[in-house]
Structure 1
Amino acid sequence: MESNEAGLPIVFVHGMRVSGTMWRPVIQAIGERHPMAAPDLPGHGERRGEPFGMPGAVATVAEAVDDLGGRALLVGLSLGGYVALATAGAHPDRVLGLVAMGCTALPRGLFGAVYRGTARLAAKHPEEANRLSAFAFRRTLPRPQADAMAAGGLSSEAMPGIVEAVRGTDPLASLSAYPGPVWLVNGERDHFRSHERRFLRACRDGRLIIRPRCGHLTSLTDTTDVARQVLDAAAVSTARTHEATPQGNVR
């Protein structure tokens, strides 16, 4: 007999300059059994114009978790992945599992410098950068996913502050502080996978998944498969929770 019990809550965290609407196709593919949320981070979507800071972004995700009952699986892509990592490190008791997509490059050195320059250029010409971003989404993704990316509006003017905030984080320390299960998911052609092995070693309970022939955003092309990976992570996280002793340790 099928259980009527609600599934594990899931909080989705969006990428840079887009909004929570980017996750609509995946949320629709998952269906209604899992309570889900995809909040807008500061400076994005309905919060466009607010300054972006990592503490505020983490607080936004933690609040979304609380709204769903206080504990949830986090799923983030790109900026959303870095924010999810920071949230798991800061609030491990609220995060039952973590799916971090396209965020296993340390945001420093030459890599960070390139993105700092790109962000500054975009912020000087935000409307043009927004139009180019929307065009890139349409060229890269199927129509439903491309539309979802732009549906909440684009915020290229926020990019310099976002890059500086991410550069100030220590994702390896966040992973080391988090005891729960972690899925590091990268497209085979994703430029954000350069330090994936270091990220994996930092996990206490980690696994690395490579999506063949996918880039940074095209990992979202197969919505059904992304939804399946999220549901698999939710099932493992649920099982770990049920195995926990009353003291909160996992047998």
Structure 2
Amino acid sequence: MDSNEPALPLVFVHGMRVSHTMWQPVMQAIGTRHPMAAPDLPGHGARRGEPFTMPGAVAAVAEAVDELGGRAMVVGLSLGGYVAMATAGSHPERVAGLVAMGCTALPRGLFGATYRGAGRVAARYPKGVDRLSVFSFRRALPGPLAEAMVAGGLNSEIISDIVAAVAGQDPLASLAAYPGPVWLVNGERDRFRRQEGRFARACHQGRLTILPGRGHISSLADPTAVARQVLDAAAAATASRSNPTPAPPDRPAVPKRGPADRLDGAALPADDAA
């Protein structure tokens, strides 16, 4: 990329029940060259008290993209990844590239029922789930990263609505509707890898990356490595605009799953599942 060319804007989308602050370590590692934004989704952070809906979440991301000039790479983890995919499918002209982390599972069947049940528990005992979440984040991540996860406050009472909203969307259709480059990133021990092959095949320009030894939240344990991956994706997305002919999807073999990670493979509080 030419050094005089404006750097591609980046929009980061947070996970369930946390806020935009979870991305601060990664954004700090990226530095100042790329314009960046990290909006709070409805019901989270500064927008606590608002109802969560998928259209409302997509609108929040699209607004952040517009504030950065109307086109950006969108990066999301967990719930943020599902919202990012929905945004790309709904507004492909606004999304220059997509990095979707920890969100290649379809919340259907027994898997979906498990999380709907956990959501009902969280709605009934939100303060207890918030406390358990703080404990779990601090066990799964180094200190400063764990504090970034909780700095904007937690809101577990909204989990049930989020699970229903994610279950009501079709992420495979969103990926199929988006013609741009997609990077699917999963921790080796992440339970949200379940249908990663189907998600990769749904992409027009898809790449699947597995982080060895990482789980769902611990995929953020090295913010410098995450920043480097985002920057590499941004550079590739910028180059693809200069050469618009789509490259064949890069679908490397998926490593065998490792044993379940005790923290990242646990129920909702440690997972940031959504």
TM range (shorter): over 0.9
1:92-103 alignment runs, 5 A limit: 92-103=92-103
Q: Residue 59 of structure 2 corresponds to which residue in structure 1?
A: 59
C-alpha offsets along residues 55-92 of structure 1, whole Å, 9 cap, x if unaligned? 00000000000000000000000000000000000000
What SS does the aligned partner of 1:197 have?
helix
TM-score, normalised relative to structure 2:
0.88
Q: Residue 232 of structure 1 corresponds to which residue in structure 2?
A: 232
Q: Residue 28 of structure 1 corresponds to which residue in structure 2?
A: 28
Shift of the alpha carbon at 1:107?
1.4
Q: Which consecutive unaligned segments of at least 5 residues does structure 2 have?
A: 248-274
Q: Residue 117 of structure 1 corresponds to which residue in structure 2?
A: 117
> How far apart, CA to CA, are the structure 2 residues paired with 1:5 and 1:76?
25
Q: Residue 144 of structure 1 corresponds to which residue in structure 2?
A: 144
> How far apart, CA to CA, are the structure 1 residues paired with 2:180 and 2:15?
23
1:49-198 alignment runs, 5 A limit: 49-198=49-198
Q: Does 1:219 align with 2:215?
A: no
> How far apart, CA to CA, are the structure 2 residues paired with 1:122 and 1:165?
16
What SS does the aligned partner of 1:18 have?
coil
Question: How many equivalent residue pairs?
Answer: 246
Q: Which consecutive unaligned segments of at least 5 residues does structure 1 have?
A: none
Aligned amino acid, residue 67 of structure 2: D
Aligned amino acid, residue 51 of structure 1: P
Shift of the alpha carbon at 1:5?
3.9
Shift of the alpha carbon at 1:3?
2.5
Q: Residue 8 of structure 1 corresponds to which residue in structure 2?
A: 8
Kept in 1: contact 2:205–2:246 (CA 8 A): no
C-alpha offsets along residues 136-157 of structure 1, whole Å, 9 cap, x if unaligned? 0001001111000000000100
Kept in 2: contact 1:23–1:148 (CA 8 A): yes
What SS does the aligned partner of 1:43 have?
coil
Kept in 2: contact 1:6–1:35 (CA 8 A): no
Aligned amino acid, residue 140 of structure 1: A
What SS does the aligned partner of 2:41 have?
coil
Runs of 4+ in 1 over 4 A off after TM superposition: none
C-alpha offsets along residues 120-176 of structure 1, whole Å, 9 cap, x if unaligned? 101111111111101100010011110000000001000000000000000000000
TM-score, normalised relative to structure 1:
0.96
C-alpha offsets along residues 157-201 of structure 1, whole Å, 9 cap, x if unaligned? 000000000000000000000000000000000000000000001
> How far apart, CA to CA, are the structure 1 residues paired with 2:122 and 2:81?
21
What SS does the aligned partner of 1:11 have?
strand
Q: Does 1:203 align with 2:207?
A: no
Shift of the alpha carbon at 1:250?
5.9
What SS does the aligned partner of 1:230 have?
helix
Shift of the alpha carbon at 1:6?
3.2
